[in-house]
Structure 1
Amino acid sequence: MPDFKLPADFSQRMKDTLGEAEFQDFYEALQLEPAVSVRLNPFKLSNLPLSARHVAWAEQGFFLEDRPSFTLDPLFHAGAYYVQESSSMFIDHILRSQRVPNDGLFLDLSAAPGGKSTLLSSYLGEEGFLVANEVIKSRASILKENIIKWGIGNTLVTHNDPEHFKDLEGIFDLVLIDAPCSGEGMFRKDPASMREWSQDNIALCALRQQRIMDHAAGLVKGGGYLVYSTCTYNEQENEEIVKFITEEFSYQPVRIPLETQWGIEEVRIESSEETFYGYRFFPHKVPGEGFFVTVFKRPDHAYIGSIRRMKDFKHPHLKQVSSTYAQQLRSLISLPEQSVFYALQDSYFFLRKQHQLYFEYLSKYLSIKYFGIELGKINKNQWIPSHEWAVSILPKEGFPLKELDLSSARDFLRKEESTLGEIPEGWIVMQYQGLSLGLLKNLGNRTNNYYPKEWRIKNL
């Protein structure tokens, strides 16, 4: 990586923080190629078929020796893993070290592109439910795509401003705010963030973070957790926001256990009454990028909002499917008995029964981009399965499976013709190394590739 010049004011602050000698180590680390890390989807892949070493603080996290072309890897498109910066995977250690219950309601308030949301989704599994929210419309579409590929079906993707959550105070077991920030920790991976850096931008980010926390910190129920993180180093966006939260809201400190060899720096943040803790990642100390995270716990006696069951589900666009019609859907495709279904125009969506209460209550307040698993639609009395169902973890019983080699899998992802040999007529689930990539329909005289056109990989 070519040498680059850090902003002068930033360099001086980091020298004041680290000292001259350690600053040199920090600066030299920024000249190195960043580590490449991925996190496995435990519902799809148990072992990584590449040479890799484990990320110490994340159960499914791995460092790769080299950076492959993820675009050309069918396993990436199958949602078998997510390419995520290793420092961000520390959220996994937070959840597991605190034994946060995995059967509750989580919120990722600034969720795009989906790294932390897919991590939370994996942790919740089939028990808990996640709201993955993104305020920027274009980024919400990227978030939706990544949630679909992850395929667990325990997530509601929403497109809302933090202010829109005001009627949902005290209902979430965990709220994660990966706040928009000045991006100092990403200088190595994103030179544009370095060019855009300024003291004025830091001040603007801090004001934005305070506004977000004003709306978000009250959403956590009594006994629940608030996690705040940034990819920046300065105290104005980190320690000062911690103090802001503790002054405005009632929270208790949470101290996360660390191993010395991890190289993560614990910082103590003194409030008027208690000591809180933050965790800072420097690229010369950890094999990852710059990151800061802190954890709070809501006192058990704090407000707990009630999620009330509605007698009749009413929504301007969605309709709950009757029990009789639900049985017909189950006869078309193999689905768990404990499930509910919703119709959006001519498309049908699956949701696990244990998530119904959360979903129906939240749907009154939030703008829905996606939820559960889209199953397909009925057209002229014919069932048309969806790509979303094909790449989900739902069973594919009753549908023929076609295992593809690497070349054929890439052709399928490009929506190009390839030699498939003898295949049955009708719908076929196309697979690579046992994981579903999407759907093909054999009409006898020709085949139709139903991989989403907007997701197809380009020729490289």
Structure 2
Amino acid sequence: MTNQETPKLPETFEQQMASLLEANEFARFKAALFTPCKSSIRINPRKKAPLPHNTSPVPWNPHGHFLPQRPKFTFDPLFHAGAYYVQEASSMFIGHILNHIKPPKDGVYLDLCAAPGGKSSLLADYIGDEGLLVANEVIKTRASILRENMIKWGLGNTVVTNNDPSHFGELEGLFDVVLVDAPCSGEGMFRKDAQAREEWSPENVKYCAARQQRILDQAGALPGSGGYLIYSTCTFNEQENENMIRFITDEFAYESVRIPLDPAWGIVETEADTEWGTFYGYRFFPHLVSGEGFFITVLKRPSDAPFQQPKKMKDLKHVLLQRTNKAEKMLLRQELTLDDAFDFYKLKKSFFAIKTTWTKHFEVLASTLNIKYFGTELGKFNKDQFIPTHALAISILPKTFPRHEISLEEAHIFLKKEDLTLDISHEGWVMLTYQNLPLGWIKNIGNRINNYYPKEWRIRMKIMDKEGNNRENTNCKIVQSP
């Protein structure tokens, strides 16, 4: 930094890191905290979108890519279509872990502290159409963001919940993988977030460690026999990392898991000696990797740990959620050409699809947890007319509705939920696509086109052209052909 005073780190934090790192490393670490970090995205493998130019691969995740510069993601229609997720590269290491430990893809997974959804979408990628993911967030407003991001990802294999970890007590032994990306003191975010540096204190570290213990005390019994607990933080200190390994292994029976590393990656393996043996953790330091600060560890439940297999419920006792009857199922299958692989539920007046394989598990979850979203929301019937949802449009479910490809300029108008003028021969519901990826619905009623992009998701920022001019001041509507 020229002609400017270098920002300061908390003195106690510097002392902590100086003891954690080699003497000649600390200066490099400190300097790295005040240099820009590369932006990275993770491609949605089930939505075929073109890769941006001049990217470089994230070495530990085949779907991860570093960008040459950070663009305005808000103005990229592919971002709104769920073609990729803007995710910090260090977090993508979870994909490498899954590919090594190989938990069953047709299993039940839980992301206990899931918002905003980057790690949940990664878990959803791994299980694909075979497994079921529960993505939970305790804070209501953040659960809404999580719901939006899982809808955009579009795989339909996720149940979004809004619960405290203590609410999962009846589900002990149900899960094959439990991920706890715990709230922490945020030391790994010091480069990106000046406020995180200002708010850091030894007292806050202790507070976070106590909160992490409370979460792990609830999460430790959730993986079934042979299942895995993955614990991560975006911090460096031992109190929130290795000490949590010691805590969980004192409370529950777990076995050590070691993950192979390529030395070129720069990831540091650490050891936590416990009464039950040596357990391994993995630290990401910003002076060694192209990523933010991160810590992660993997533990395995022994084969004699409890395992829960849900039984079919005779009646689904829920205030709002209902099973569909035969007539409703027939209508939905005819309207959407969905086969017997899917079952349907009605929440209020809207219908949802979920894989038949997971209906027993889903009903147990629905009777236990506060469900915010599940599977894919399809739509509702108004008399005999089917009204599709935005979630259906951007899902990977098959769709037989007419499509209309639009330009970047038209996509911006649509995403701002403004009036569109298009040359469309089809009347009724039409799915707009950008670079062949669905963006959402319009309804052509002859004399006008209604824009059905969700009001709460619309772009509110001003869109600038290449010269930096406000595009709001130009007429960018397409003239309708006669």
Of 5, 9, 15, which aligns to 2:8? Answer: 5
User: Which AA in structure 1 matches 2:134?
Assistant: V
The CA distance in 2 between the partners of 1:76 and 1:45, in whole Å, is 13
User: Which AA in structure 1 matches 2:187?
Assistant: E
Of 405, 409, 420, which aligns to 2:422? Answer: 420
Q: Tell me the equivalent position of 1:140.
A: 143
Q: Tell me the equivalent position of 1:304.
A: 307
CA displacement at 1:381 relative to structure 2? 2.5
Match of 2:105, SS state, is coil
The CA distance in 2 between the partners of 1:334 and 1:386, in whole Å, is 16
CA displacement at 1:420 relative to structure 2? 1.9
Q: Tell me the equivalent position of 2:399.
A: 396
Structure 1 pair 380–327 and aligned structure 2 pair: CA distance change class (3 A) = closer
Q: Tell me the equivalent position of 1:262.
A: 265
Q: Does 1:226 align with 2:229?
A: yes
Taking every aligned residue pair, what percent have the same amino acid on both sides? Answer: 56
Match of 1:364, SS state, is helix
CA displacement at 1:403 relative to structure 2? 0.4
| Cα deviations by residue, 1:192-234 (Å, 9 ceiling, x for unpaired) | 1111100000000000000000000101100000000000000
CA displacement at 1:245 relative to structure 2? 0.5
Q: Tell me the equivalent position of 1:373.
A: 376
CA displacement at 1:430 relative to structure 2? 0.6
Q: Tell me the equivalent position of 2:441.
A: 439
Please list every run of at least 4 consecutive aligned residues from structure 1 whose deviation after the TM superposition is greater than 6 angstroms: none
User: Structure 2: any 5+ residue segments left out of the alignment?
Assistant: 464-482
The CA distance in 1 between the partners of 2:458 and 2:370, in whole Å, is 27
User: Which AA in structure 1 matches 2:91?
Assistant: S
CA displacement at 1:408 relative to structure 2? 0.7
Match of 1:14, SS state, is helix
Equivalent residue pairs, number: 459
Across the aligned residues of Structure 1 and Structure 2, the Cα RMSD in angstroms comes to 1.2
The CA distance in 1 between the partners of 2:309 and 2:340, in whole Å, is 27
| More displaced 10-residue stretch of structure 1: 115-124 or 317-326 | 317-326
User: Which AA in structure 2 matches 1:449?
Assistant: N
Structure 1 pair 423–32 and aligned structure 2 pair: CA distance change class (3 A) = farther
User: Which AA in structure 2 matches 1:428?
Assistant: V
The CA distance in 1 between the partners of 2:206 and 2:218, in whole Å, is 19
Q: Tell me the equivalent position of 1:17.
A: 20
| Cα deviations by residue, 1:119-162 (Å, 9 ceiling, x for unpaired) | 00111100000000000000000000000000100000000000
Structure 1 pair 418–51 and aligned structure 2 pair: CA distance change class (3 A) = farther
Q: Does 1:385 align with 2:404?
A: no
The CA distance in 2 between the partners of 1:68 and 1:379, in whole Å, is 41
User: Which AA in structure 2 matches 1:18?
Assistant: L
Q: Does 1:104 align with 2:107?
A: yes
| More displaced 10-residue stretch of structure 1: 20-29 or 1-10 | 1-10
The CA distance in 2 between the partners of 1:95 and 1:357, in whole Å, is 25
Of 180, 184, 187, which aligns to 1:184? Answer: 187
Structure 1 pair 224–46 and aligned structure 2 pair: CA distance change class (3 A) = farther
CA displacement at 1:270 relative to structure 2? 0.4
Contact 1:265–1:281 (CA<8 Å) still a contact in 2?
yes
Q: Tell me the equivalent position of 2:474.
A: none
* Residues 35-434 of structure 1 aligned to structure 2 (within 5 Å): 35-45=38-48, 47-397=50-400, 399-434=401-436
The CA distance in 2 between the partners of 1:270 and 1:439, in whole Å, is 56
| Cα deviations by residue, 1:380-425 (Å, 9 ceiling, x for unpaired) | 322111111011001111x110101111111110112344223421
CA displacement at 1:47 relative to structure 2? 4.7
Q: Tell me the equivalent position of 1:448.
A: 450
The CA distance in 1 between the partners of 2:257 and 2:363, in whole Å, is 32
Contact 2:343–2:359 (CA<8 Å) still a contact in 1?
yes
The CA distance in 2 between the partners of 1:51 and 1:402, in whole Å, is 29
| Cα deviations by residue, 1:153-203 (Å, 9 ceiling, x for unpaired) | 000000000000011111100000000000000001111111110000000
Contact 1:154–1:355 (CA<8 Å) still a contact in 2?
no
User: Which AA in structure 1 matches 2:434?
Assistant: Y
The CA distance in 1 between the partners of 2:171 and 2:393, in whole Å, is 33
The CA distance in 1 between the partners of 2:436 and 2:378, in whole Å, is 20
The CA distance in 1 between the partners of 2:320 and 2:95, in whole Å, is 36
User: Structure 1: any 5+ residue segments left out of the alignment?
Assistant: none
Contact 2:249–2:276 (CA<8 Å) still a contact in 1?
no
User: Which AA in structure 2 matches 1:437?
Assistant: L
The CA distance in 1 between the partners of 2:13 and 2:339, in whole Å, is 55
User: Which AA in structure 1 matches 2:371?
Assistant: I
Give the alignment's TM-score, normalised by structure 2: 0.93
CA displacement at 1:46 relative to structure 2? 5.8
The CA distance in 2 between the partners of 1:324 and 1:104, in whole Å, is 31
Match of 2:306, SS state, is coil
User: Which AA in structure 1 matches 2:404?
Assistant: K
The CA distance in 2 between the partners of 1:344 and 1:245, in whole Å, is 38
| More displaced 10-residue stretch of structure 1: 442-451 or 284-293 | 442-451
| Cα deviations by residue, 1:6-43 (Å, 9 ceiling, x for unpaired) | 11110111112213321111111112111111001111
| Cα deviations by residue, 1:346-371 (Å, 9 ceiling, x for unpaired) | 11001111121210111110000000
Contact 1:282–1:289 (CA<8 Å) still a contact in 2?
yes
